[in-house]
Amino acid sequence: MDLGKLAKDSALAAFVALILAIPLAGFNTNQPGGNSIGTRWDWVAIAVVVVFVGRFAIGLLPKRRRSDRPPVVSLFLTKHQSILGWVGLGIAIVWPFMPFASQYYLDLATAVLIYIMLGWGLNVVVGLAGLLNLGYAAFYAVGAYTLALTAAYWNFGFWEALPLAGLTSAIVGILLALPVLRLRGDYLAIVTLGFGEIIRIILINWQSFTYGPNGINGLPRPTFFGLPLSARAPSGGKTFAQFLGIDFNLAQRYIYLYFVTLALALIVNLFIIKLRRLPVGRAWEALREDEIATRALGINPVSAKLSAFAVGALLAGFAGVFFATRQGFVSPESFNFQESATVLAIVVLGGMGSQLGIAIAAIILVTLPEFGRDFAQFRMLLFGAAMVGIMIWRPRGLFSIRTPSIRLGETQLGEMRK
């Protein structure tokens, strides 16, 4: 590498950074007292220096071809996928009985499981079928609100609402996607992006039906075969604790919700693994790779895409119910664009199409903000940058590589190129 040319390139990049930084970093309108403006030239200087040094350092690195050998981590993960999956399951099962497992850790683990479920659901749409759903939070809003509204109007419990929520969400998904699926994929992306915002506007404004921006409180919790996990039973019934003849403890409720979530997550996982082996799953992956060739083989692309989209929406509906019951409360603001972006970031980082990679990504992305408020502030900034970076440097995902569902003949891991 010619150092002079590299220095010139770096200077150019630094100059661009200077122009970019002057208005937005150099001036600060975020002042107490309104219409005044402050300056931060030191920030501009830092940005310029960082870009110069960064560009120079990247230039010094040895050049590597894109999609060369997958990194050691992904190879390891892919090679030991099933063992790691079982180990993960084992940890998940004993987690609530660990000495450190306080209510906080249980609640966090339940949240992680919900996001893993959401990630797997979106993975069917994005990773397997190659369709982009940018309003995934809207579908899980439909699930969460199905629980909240059926409970508020008809006194439905958790278990009655769960299948209904999945169904409603899937129907909404089908109605939304049907008109745009015959067009180019980009249109689906923008329609779902818009839908994510629209559903929030409707939830906020349709006050007579959805209780508006205040949301709905006191959502039902899952019962154990009809036995509620609470201190007092409704008249004539028994609580779970009374039935077993033990003292009621709030931790029981958290542990139970955790295991119900874990069970559903496992069912979802098996469901997706089975689907991938069925003709419809094969059709999704074929469509993702080459739509025209797939059509030539006699597969109806619209119905195949629609089924993928509906399965994604169905799983989002289920996850929405768990989300709502975990919080005990729903409001439109829980389902903003950031939620959709977080789930998409989980799928992209985990490696589109890889179940294990997505689970790892969900664990990392959901628990990271808990480590510090500073991090929480920069979370979305980092997610956005990470999505761009991964598409450029590691389009198959950070933690894992997608294993093809079917391949011809014997191949070795080292030869996994595409």
Partner 1 sequence: MAYFLQQLINGLTLGAIYALIAIGYTMVYGIIGMINFAHGEIYMIGAFVSLITFFVLGTVGVTWVPLALVVVLFSAMFFTSAYGWAVERVAYRPLRGSFRLAPLISAIGMSIFLQNYVQLLQGAQVKSLPPVVTGGFRLMETGGFAVQLSYLQIIIVLVTIALMAGFSVMIAATPLGRAQRACEQDMTMAALLGVDVDRTISTTFLIGAALAAVAGMMVTLYYGVIDFFIGFLAGMKAFTAAVLGGIGSLPGAVLGGFLIGIIEAFWSGYFSSAYKDVAVFGVLVLVLIFRPSGLLGRPEIEKV
Burial of residue 202 (CB within 10 Å: 0-12, 13-18, 19+) is middle
> From the CB of 18, what's the least distance to partner 1, in Å?
10
Residues in the chain: 418
Q: Which is nearer to partner 1, 303 or 377 (CB)?
A: 377
Q: Which is nearer to partner 1, 75 or 380 (CB)?
A: 380
Q: Which is nearer to partner 1, 181 or 219 (CB)?
A: 181
Instruction: Specify which residues 28 forms β-bridges with.
Output: 38
Binding residues for partner 1, rule: CB under 8 A, are 16, 19-20, 22-25, 27-30, 34-37, 126, 130, 132, 134, 179-180, 183-187, 189-191, 193-195, 197-198, 201-202, 205, 292, 337, 341, 344, 348, 352, 377-378, 380-381, 383-388, 391-392, 395
Give the Cα separation of 200 and 338 in Å (integer): 12
> From the CB of 354, what's the least distance to partner 1, in Å?
15
Q: Which is nearer to partner 1, 90 or 384 (CB)?
A: 384
> From the CB of 51, what's the least distance to partner 1, in Å?
11
Q: Which is nearer to partner 1, 179 or 404 (CB)?
A: 179
The rounded Cα 228 to chain-centroid distance in angstroms is 30
Helix (H) or strand (E) holding 411: none
> From the CB of 174, what's the least distance to partner 1, in Å?
14
Does residue 128 contact residue 309 with C-beta atoms inside 8 Å?
A: no
The tokens for 343 are: 């789930």
Give the number of other CB atoms < 10 A from CB of residue 103: 12
The tokens for 394 are: 């590691």
Phi then psi dihedrals of residue 71, to 5 deg: -65, 160
> From the CB of 391, what's the least distance to partner 1, in Å?
4
Question: Judging by DSSP bridges, how do beta strands 38-39 and 27-28 pair with one another?
Answer: antiparallel
Does residue 55 contact residue 10 with C-beta atoms inside 8 Å?
A: yes
> From the CB of 24, what's the least distance to partner 1, in Å?
5
Look at the block and give the residue holding tokens 């129907």.
171
Instruction: Specify which residues 38 forms β-bridges with.
Output: 28
Q: Which is nearer to partner 1, 92 or 346 (CB)?
A: 346
Which whole-number Å values give the CA distances from 174 to 139, 273, 313, 315, in the listed order?
A: 11, 22, 8, 13
> From the CB of 81, what's the least distance to partner 1, in Å?
23
Q: Which is nearer to partner 1, 85 or 185 (CB)?
A: 185
